[in-house]
Amino acid sequence: MPQIRTVITGTGSYIPPNIKTNRDFATQQFYGEDHQPIVAAPNEIVDKFRDITGIEERRYADSDMNTSDMATMAARNAIKDSGVDPETLDQIIVAHNFGNVLKDTIQTDALPALSSRVKQSLGIRNPNCVAYDILFGCPGWIQGVIQADSYIKSGMAKKCLVIGAETLSRVIDIYDRDSMIFSDGAGATVIEAIPADETESGILACSVQSHCVDEAFFLQYGKSNFPDADPDVRYMKMKGRKVYEYAIKNVPLAMKACLDKCGLQVTDVNKFFLHQANEKMDEGFVKALYKLYGLKDVPSDIMPMSIHKFGNSSVATIPTLYDLVKHEKFGAHEIEPGDIIMFASVGAGMNINAICYRV
């Protein structure tokens, strides 16, 4: 049997049109976990938030746009980019965390699965195209790519569509400062089995970990910080400090484990595509990774970041960013054939994963 490489042959994204700037939060009264008003003025809270996270703007979906709709639009763009016939897809994998959440409600809807909705919207009739969702926190899109790679390497699939989509704007507590972090969006990739004698591109290695003891509930559903809120209505809640401390310790180790598996050094990596959760945290990941190799100086152009304008759209951050860079729509950042890039993420679970990929 000839050797096969798992290659990303097409990318696409959907970035919602509605821009919500930090100024839009300047009149919001925030409350702490103790349900007491935060004494600092809202504009002071917003300025400190920007200094810590780097976020200046984020995108929210239109009121009539669901997560599955954004996923479909990103998928269409990826399919067009790849040139594949949708009927030849073997799998459609959709990573999300909350399903469809109708505007002005907090109830999630994942029946049928978002992948089934995407398949229907794409008009794919082939019953051998298997559609399923995965819940893996923010690293969900990477995990979907890892699963596609496993099916391709085993000979059980030749073409897979992997999507990350989320409307976090509909599960946030507006009285919680952390609500300013989150946004909406969708990114998609077509992944194909290509004979090794036809390409040098492909997935080189991956690493995955789940820490589910003390870390399991660092992100969870919880009551609003607003003292008079309905206790039966739940919102996404995050223990920000604990997430940061966990991630800054463990993500660089997972990234190094991935590089070790394919016999590469950190200096072999041309670009890092990291989950866009916090500017300083992402910078800390790369700095800590370089330190593991005894290096202090990190190249200034090694890590494109979209968080400043797009916020944290969970599973959509990495495929969206990769699509923009791949199509030269992201400033001076470019990737060339033969470049080594790394995808890495961390999120609810707590889960960590990384992929080393040759473009």
Domain that includes residue 179, residue range? 4-195
Q: Which residues of the chain have pLDDT under 50?
A: none
Domain count, the chain: 2
Query: What pTM, to 2 d.p., does this model score?
Result: 0.95
Q: What is the CATH number of the domain that holds 170?
A: 3.40.47.10
268-300: per-residue pLDDT in tens?
A: 999 999 999 999 999 999 999 999 999 999 998
Determine phi and psi for 106, rounding to 5 degrees.
Answer: -125, 5
Domain boundary among 195, 226, 256: 195
Strands (DSSP E) contained in the chain are 4-14, 18-21, 57-60, 91-95, 100-101, 108-109, 130-134, 159-167, 184-195, 202-210, 219-223, 234-238, 271-274, 340-347, 351-358
pLDDT at residue 42, as a whole number: 82
Domain boundary among 131, 164, 195: 195
In this structure, the answer to whether residues 207 and 277 fall within a common structural domain is yes
Under a CB-based contact definition with an 8 Å cutoff, are residues 229 and 318 in contact? no
In this structure, the answer to whether residues 138 and 287 fall within a common structural domain is no
pLDDT at residue 1, as a whole number: 52
In this structure, the answer to whether residues 225 and 325 fall within a common structural domain is yes
Structure tokens at 297: 């100086």
Domain boundary among 164, 195, 226: 195
In this structure, the answer to whether residues 86 and 162 fall within a common structural domain is yes
pLDDT at residue 2, as a whole number: 66
| 163: helix, strand or coil | strand
Give CA–CA dist 95/144, Å, rounded: 7
In this structure, the answer to whether residues 173 and 25 fall within a common structural domain is yes
In this structure, the answer to whether residues 219 and 170 fall within a common structural domain is no
pLDDT at residue 39, as a whole number: 87
